[in-house]
Chains A and B, each alone.
Chain A
C-alpha cells in the first residue's frame, strides 16, 4: 500500500472466497437489511424512541469489513451502528432490546440506538458526538502498543466527521505514534442533509489522509467483496508496518439520515440510481450468474432472516425495563 492514494481496484473475483464465506456475506447483509426495516417499523409503533439511524444501503461496507477482523481487534463506530454490532456478533435480540430500552439490551437500556456496547466482543461503542470517538479509538491503539497486545483499533466514521477538529488531531497522533489503527470512512455523501461537496473542501475523503502521510484508499462500499479485500490488505499493512491506514467506502443510505427524515434533499433519480447498486442485489446477481445461488436459496435465506428478526423482537419484548430503583447505578464505580 502506497503512502499516497490508490483508486478503487477492479472487480474482485468470486473465486477468491469460499462458498461458505460468500453465503455468509449474503446472509449477514440480508439479515441487517431486514433487521433495520423491522427497527423502522418498531419506531413507528413507538417501541423505540429518540434518535435512530439505519444502516440500510451500507450493509456491504459493514459486512465486508467486519468479516476481515479478528477477535483481538477493537471496533469503534458512529451512532449509525446497529448493523456493525450485529456483524460483530452481538445477538440481534440484545441489540433490539437496547433499542426498546430494556435491561437485556447491550447497554442495559441506558444507551439506546447510538450506544451499542460489548466489551467481550471488543465492540467498544456506538458514539453520538460526530468525530469525538476518533481520539478514543486512538487511545485503544495506544493501549495495544503500550501492552504489546495483538489487535488493531478499527474506527468507523461518516464523511461528515472528517471536517471536525478531533479528526485531524487524531490522524496526526495516529501517524506520529505509529498506532495500530484503521480509520474507515463510510461516505454516504450526505452529512445529515448537506451534500459532501458543500461541507468538505476536499470531497474525496481518502485524500485527507495524505496530509498526515497515512496510506489510504477509496473503495466501492456497495461491493462487499471489494470492501473485504481492501480491509484485509489494510489490516495486513497495519500489522506488518505498525502504522495506521485510512479507507473510504463509497456507499449510500437508502433511507433518510434518521428514521424520521424523509430525505427530501436528494433527488428521486439519485436514490434510484444508487439502489441499482444495492450491495445485496449486486452480490446476489454475481452469485446467481456463477450458479452459487438460486431463487429457492434466496427465498430460504429470507425466510430464515424473517424468523430470526422476529425472534429478536420477541426477546426485546420479553426483557424487562430497568427498575427505576437502579437509576443511580453506573454513575460511579
Chain B
C-alpha cells in the first residue's frame, strides 16, 4: 500500500471516477487553470479538458444550482465550493432544492450531485473562513453528509459519493489535506453510512469525525502510556448517523467523550449524546463529556485561535474527569 496525503487521495478518487464514467465532471471556482485553492483538482484540466473541468465565476448559487440541474438530467457533477463558509450564500440550493427534489416530485427524479467543501480552522483565516458547519447539513433529511478523517477513507468515500444517487455533502478539513496514510493500491469503495473503530479499546470510547478523530487517536496514545485503553470510533458519516456502532461501543466501555471541531451547542456531539441517552443509558458509568470549538467567532490572533480549537489536552482532560 502506498502512503499518500489526503489531498492526493482525493485527487486520485476524482481522476478514477472521471475515467470510469463520462458523466462525471468537476466544477467550481478556480479548479481548472489554478488547480483549486487546495490543489485537490491538480492536473485534471490537462487530463480531461475544459468540457469536464469547468471553471466558474464566483457565483455559488449558480454553481450548485447548475450542478443540481445537470444531475437531474443524469450527469454526475462533483462541485467544489472553495470553503464551507461560502456555501452559505447557496444554502437555498442545498436545503430547499437538492435535499427536497426527489421527495417533492414523488420519486420521479433524483439528484446525484456531490458537493465537496473544506471546513475547519487553525490557519488564522479568522471568523468568516474558519467554520465547521457540518451540522447545518446533517440536520436535513434528503442529504447525505460525510466527513472522512484519513486518506484511505477520503478516497473510498469520495468514489462512493460520486456513485451514490443522492446528494452528498462531502466535508473535508483544511488542516488534514497534508496528513498522510496508507491507501490500497487496488480499487475500493467505502460505504457512506458506516462508522469505523479506528482503535479498539475497553476503558472509554472517544467518538469524533474528521479532525476530531485524529485528536482522539492522539489522546488515546497518551492514555495508553498510562495503561488506559481508549476506543476511538470515527463517525465518518454524519447523516445517516451510525447509531448502532455508537451504542455498541459504549455498551462495552461504559464511558464516552465526544469530540468535534465545531460549536457543540446543537452540534454533532449533542446528537451523539442524545443517541447515548436514548439507547445506552443503562450502560453508562459516567456522564457523557463533550469537547468542541469554543463558542465565539474565530479570532485572528494565534493564541486566541489556539484557545478556540479543540486540542488533545482538552480531550484528555475530559477523559480524566470521568475515568
Residues of B within 8 A of A166 (CB): 61-62, 65, 92
User: Roughly how many angstroms separate A219 CA and B164 CA in the complex, as a whole number?
Assistant: 44
Given A105-B106, A108-B106, A146-B25: A333 touches B57 (CB 8 Å cut-off): no
Q: Does A190 contact B (CB under 8 A)?
A: no
Taking A115-B104, A136-B65 as contacts, is the C-beta distance between A333 and B166 under 8 angstroms?
Answer: yes
Contacts of A141 in B (CB 8 A): 69
Q: How many residues of A contact B (CB 8 A)?
A: 42
Is B141 positioned at the interface, with any CB of A under 8 Å from its CB? yes
B107 touches A329 (CB 8 A): yes
> Which of A132, A143, A176 touches B92 (beta carbons < 8 Å)?
A132
Contact partners of B101 in chain A: CB under 8 A? 125
- Would you call B66 and A173 a contact (CB within 8 A)? yes
Given contacts A135-B62, A166-B65, contact A107 B105 (CB under 8 A): yes
Closest to A127 in B: B97
Among B61, B68, B142, the residue within 8 A (CB) of A332 is B142
Instruction: Report the minimal beta-carbon distance from B64 to chain A, rounded to whole angstroms.
Output: 7
User: Is A256 on the interface with B (CB-CB < 8 A)?
Assistant: no
Contacts of B108 in A (CB 8 A): 107-108, 117-119
Q: Is A172 an interface residue (CB 8 A)?
A: yes
B273 lies within 8 A of chain A by Cβ: no
CB of A185 within 8 Å of the partner chain: no
Min CB distance B196 to A, Å, is: 21
Contact B105 A172 (CB under 8 A): no
B69 x A139 contact (CB < 8 A): yes
**Chain B residue nearest in CB terms to A106:** B106
B223 lies within 8 A of chain A by Cβ = no
Interface residues of chain A, those whose CB is within 8 Å of chain B, are 74, 105-111, 115, 117-119, 124-125, 129, 132, 134-144, 146-147, 153, 165-166, 169-170, 172-173, 176, 329-333
Q: Provide 18 A-B residue pairs closer than 8 Å at the C-beta atoms, listed in order of the A residue.
A: A107-B108, A108-B108, A110-B105, A117-B105, A119-B109, A132-B65, A135-B66, A135-B69, A136-B69, A139-B66, A139-B71, A141-B69, A143-B69, A143-B75, A166-B92, A172-B57, A172-B59, A176-B57
